[in-house]
Amino acid sequence: MQVRFRSGTAEDAQSCGLICFESFKAIAEQHNFPPDFPSPDIAVGLLNSILSRADVYSVIAEVDGRIVGSNFLWEHAVIAGVGPITVHPSVQNGSIGRRLMEHVLDRAHTQRFAGVRLVQAAYHNRSLSMYTKLGFDAREPLSTMQGPALKLTLPGYVVRKATEGDLEACNRLCRQVHGHDRARELLDAIKQDTAMVVEHDGRLTGYATSIGFFGHVVGRTNEELKALIGAAPAFLGPGFLLPTRNAELFRWCLEQGLRVVQPMTLMSQGLYQKPLGAFLPSVLY
C-alpha cells in the first residue's frame, strides 16, 4: 500500500473529521465504551478548528489520493502535545498510525521541544504498545469523569473568572507544579471566557482553562481543584481527566455523584517533572 504524507489544509476538515469520528467510534465500540464524539458534526467541527490554527502542525495520510488518516502536533508551549491521531478503520493495523506518529515526532525533534506528551485510551492495547515502542513512558493513569454540574462552593475558596491580569500568577503556579507554564493556552482560554481562578487567604492558588477534555487545571492543593470543579457550569466534552492515583480527589468526585466514563493514560517523551501540587491534565497533557 503506497501511502503519501502531506501537510493539512482547511479543506481537509470534512474528510479528516469523518475519519476521526468513525475511527474513535469503532475502537470504543470494540471495547464496549461510549464514543468520544456523539456525532460526526462535532468531530468535523473539532478538525476544522485544529486545521485553522497556526500553532498546530498537521500531517495527512493519503492512499490513491484518498485521505485515510491524520495527526497533529500542538506547538504552543515548551512541551508539545500530540493528537488526535486517527486512521480509517479500513486501513488500521497497516503501520499508517505509526508513520503518522513518526512524522510528528520528527517535527518535535526538529523544532527542539523539551518534551512531547499525549493521552491515550487505556483500553486500547495496540496504541499503548505503539507509543511505548516509540519512546513514550506511561506517567499517570487517568479517569475520565462526567456528570451534572455540582454547583457547590468551598468555604474560604473564592472562584471567579480569570483575567489577563492573572496571567503572571497563574503561570508562576504552573511552573511551580509542572516545571513549565502553559501561557498560550491560558491566554486563549481567558479570551474565550472559559478560564477561572481560585483565591485562598487573599492570593491566587489555582486556575483552570476549563473543566473538560481540552482544559487543564493547576492548584496548590486538592482544595483548589475541588473549588474549581464545584464551580464549573458544565464538564465539557466527554468529561475531565482526573489522575486516578489522587485517591482523595477521586473519592470526593465519586461522593459528589460524578461517574467514571473511561480510563486513560498520560504518556510523555523527554522532559517530565513529577507534579509538585494538584492538577488535572487536558487530553493533550
> Are residues 162 and 259 both part of a single domain?
yes
Asked if residue 88 belongs to a domain, the reply is: yes
Residue-wise pLDDT for 70-82, tens only, equals 999 999 999 999 9
> Are residues 50 and 162 both part of a single domain?
no
> Are residues 101 and 176 both part of a single domain?
no
Asked if residue 236 belongs to a domain, the reply is: yes
- In the listed set 65, 90, 113, which residue is the last one of a domain according to the structure? 113
Asked if residue 172 belongs to a domain, the reply is: yes
Q: State residue 265's pLDDT score.
A: 98
> Are residues 175 and 276 both part of a single domain?
yes
> Are residues 98 and 170 both part of a single domain?
no
Asked if residue 251 belongs to a domain, the reply is: yes
**CATH number, position 18:** 3.40.630.30
Q: State residue 92's pLDDT score.
A: 82
> Are residues 97 and 194 both part of a single domain?
no
Q: State residue 204's pLDDT score.
A: 98
> Are residues 66 and 189 both part of a single domain?
no
Asked if residue 83 belongs to a domain, the reply is: yes
- In the listed set 113, 136, 163, which residue is the last one of a domain according to the structure? 113
79 CB-side CA count, 13 A: 25
Asked if residue 80 belongs to a domain, the reply is: yes
> Are residues 151 and 204 both part of a single domain?
yes
Asked if residue 38 belongs to a domain, the reply is: yes
Residue-wise pLDDT for 207-225, tens only, equals 999 999 999 999 999 999 9
> Are residues 181 and 88 both part of a single domain?
no
> Are residues 103 and 158 both part of a single domain?
no
Asked if residue 119 belongs to a domain, the reply is: no
> Are residues 194 and 85 both part of a single domain?
no
Model confidence, pTM: 0.95
Q: State residue 93's pLDDT score.
A: 76
- In the listed set 113, 135, 167, which residue is the last one of a domain according to the structure? 113
Which portions of the chain are predicted below pLDDT 70? Answer: none
> Are residues 85 and 155 both part of a single domain?
no
Domain count, the chain: 2
Q: State residue 15's pLDDT score.
A: 97
Domain that holds residue 61: 3-113
Average pLDDT taken over every residue of the chain: 97
